[in-house]
Amino acid sequence: MPRVVFLLVPRVHLLDLAGPAQVFSTAADFGHDYRLEYVAEREDVPTAQGVPLRARVEWPALGPDDLLVVPGWRASAPDAALGEAALRRLRAHHAAGGTVASVCSGARALGEAGLLDGRRCTTHHELQDDLARRHPRAEVVRDVLHVTDDRLVTSAGIASGIDLALHLVATRHGPAAAARVARSMVVYARRNGDDPQDGAMLRHRAHLSDVVHRAQDLIEARFTCTLRLSALAAETGVSERTLTRRFTAATGLTPLRYQQVLRVERAEHLIGHGATVEAAARAVGFEDARMLRRLRARA
């Protein structure tokens, strides 16, 4: 069972911690095994918002599949810092093949550990100049929610920690899993980081229509099959006309067009990995390559 270990710095911001923790906790509720743990350099950890926290001072044994996250903290506080032992832990986990992530000012810890040198990163917009000054060998990327570079994932401020965590869930378990977590949390499923190539399953999930989410779940689970609008409407509990109207309003696509977008995206992936157009077309549910070629030309 992979661990998600949060390294807490004194004056930690509650939402920087709670947002990502909720994402991984919800993913665990849906059957994706995660064990959440909290470590710090002392058991009692004051927060920026005044709610006291308790954490372990003994570190668990970490493996390459484990994730180490540093939430942001109120950097102006005199006791808000990490000692060399904790910085060594960050370096060692990354060197051993593990992923290290930060939210907001947590990027400062990654910089002090030497992990930002020669890598792209981001942080809260109010802290970007300071991060660039402190770590001139880092490439600070502005106006993005999160950046990934060589198993180093940094995010902007506060709520972007949720986007970062959803991105990591999507990377490990697929975009449908991330969309399900986002829907449970009643937040947008988005991966608006430095990569503009968002998958269709997330790109068209930026809405709060439960009926449309249910229809999307059904389409995504069976996108290679022939799906009748009447059956889709019956399973979502609305009429065909209502489903089409709501689906189009929420996603900009009809249910059929959404299924076609999923098929084309999957076919593009197969072609990029060496499949012929004909083989890719049949693998995603088309009778032959003609429709796939037509839809690719339209895109």
As a whole number, mean pLDDT of residues 20-39 equals: 96
Instruction: Tell me what the pLDDT averaged over the chain comes to.
Output: 91
Topology at the third CATH level for domain 207-298: Arc Repressor Mutant, subunit A (1.10.10)
Q: What is the pLDDT of residues 114-133, one digit of tens each?
A: 999 999 999 998 999 999 99
pLDDT value at 198 more than 60: no
- Report the CATH architecture of 3-177: 3-Layer(aba) Sandwich (3.40)
Q: 154: which 2 tokens?
A: 């940094």
Q: Quick one: pLDDT band at residue 284, thresholds 50, 70, 90?
A: very high
As a whole number, mean pLDDT of residues 281-286 equals: 94
pLDDT value at 40 more than 80: yes
pLDDT value at 17 more than 60: yes
- Quickly list DSSP for the chain: --EEEEEEPTTB-HHHHHHHHHHHHHHHHTT---EEEEEESSSEE-BTTS--EE-BSSPPP--TT-EEEE--B-TTSTT----HHHHHHHHHHHHTT-EEEEETTHHHHHHHTT-STTSEE---TTTHHHHHHH-TTSEEPPS-SEEESSSEEEE-STTHHHHHHHHHHHHHH-HHHHHHHHHHHTS-----SS-----HHHHT--S--HHHHHHHHHHHHTTTS---HHHHHHHHTS-HHHHHHHHHHHHSS-HHHHHHHHHHHHHHHHHHTT--HHHHHHHTT-SSHHHHHHHHHH-
As a whole number, mean pLDDT of residues 239-252 equals: 96
As a whole number, mean pLDDT of residues 26-51 equals: 96
Which pLDDT does position 195 carry in this prediction?
Answer: 42
Which pLDDT does position 43 carry in this prediction?
Answer: 96
Q: What is the pLDDT of residues 156-182, one digit of tens each?
A: 988 889 999 999 998 898 877 888 898
Domain edges within the chain: 3-177, 207-298
